[in-house]
Homo-oligomer: A and B are copies of this chain.
Amino acid sequence: MNEFDRIARYFAPLSAGEAGAFALTDDAAALTIPAGQTLVVTTDSVIGGIHLPRDASPAQFAQKLLRRNLSDLAAMGALPWRYLLNLHVPATISEEWLQQFSAMLQQEQQHFGIVLVGGDSTTGGENIHLTATLLGLTPEPILRRGAKAGDDLYVTGTIGEAALALPYALGEKTPDAAAQPWLDRYFAPEPRIAVGLAMRGIASAAIDISDGLVQDFTHLCKASDLGAVVHIPHMPLARTGDIETMLTGGDDYELLFTAPASKRQNITAVAAETGVAITRIGAMQQHTEVVFLDAHNQPLHFASKGYRH
């Protein structure tokens, strides 16, 4: 099956929701941005052996690819809208792989309200190398740089599950019942889209946690030119122990955000509305250090800050 047949069979049907995708048969997509909306654009790759084990399933590749990009849209408070896909797979890839991969894209499109509008497809090498570019919409994005001294600091969901899953995902440990939910989180992280949308006008700054909480929070502080005090005992960790692994391991795809104290009731309401736990874990401060305090209010230092590509 050549490139054009592959696109026509597996990918053109995924573009049906957007006339401007021309069934993936034109040189480019032509999209009309709805009035009053800012276009939010992000792109990330998923490469076998780097972001996922080489032998991950086609469905796992599809989910991780879209969800790590969707998480970036969530952090901007953007509504997911359209996407492009660059597919590079070995020439020996099976029809079954393509069928399962595109079926999961279809399922994720419906779940997140997105439509495929373009891309390219090549074969070669022995590795799977995927890139997605996600387009989202928002009247006004939530930025990393908007935090103010005195703002509360919050995190969604729980932190550390994906990091705890990693040795199981890599085959270094045999999964038991306790590891299964961590593995689910690792392979199919939950982008916090609904929280991001609800935080418009409430959050002063936000970032998604992809490279570990410590490192990503440091980015938010740097962008806002602030420091912070973070209380580790308040942190919604996946389990007791292994604090450093959980706080510096990657792949959480939770949101870290800041908001003025006057918004505490709104945030309680957002948590109730979305069914996502939102935990206050610290506060932004007018100095340049980021301090993580333990149960005895002693600062904790991390050997590794987080995942680096």
Contacts and interface: CB of A to CB of B under 8 A. Distances in A.
Interface of A: 2-4, 20, 22, 25-33, 38-45, 47, 49-51, 72-73, 75-76, 78, 84, 86, 88, 117-125, 127, 129, 131, 133-136, 138, 141, 143-145, 206-208, 219, 222-223, 308-309
A31 B41 contact: yes
Given A3-B308, A22-B144, A88-B129, A28 B42 contact: yes
A72 B84 CA distance: 15
B136 A76 contact: no
A76 B27 contact: yes
A68 to B, nearest CB: 10
Q: How many copies does the complex hold?
A: 2
A208 B27 CA distance: 7
A39 B47 contact: no
B124 A28 contact: no
Contact of A43 (B39, B50, B84, B223): B84
Contacts of A76: 26-28, 30
A50 B223 contact: no
B42 A122 contact: no
Contact of A38 (B32, B75, B136): B32
Nearest to A206: B27
A73 to B, nearest CB: 6
A302 to B, nearest CB: 16
Contact of A28 (B28, B40, B45): B40
Given A28-B40, A31-B38, 14 more contacts: A22-B143, A22-B144, A22-B145, A25-B219, A26-B76, A27-B208, A28-B78, A28-B141, A30-B138, A41-B135, A43-B119, A47-B124, A84-B133, A86-B86
Contact of A125 (B22, B127, B219): B127
Contacts of A29: 40-42
B43 A73 contact: no
Of A32, A33, A133, A308, most B-chain CB atoms within 10 Å: A133
Nearest to A23: B223
A31 to B, nearest CB: 5
A76 to B, nearest CB: 5
A118 B88 contact: no
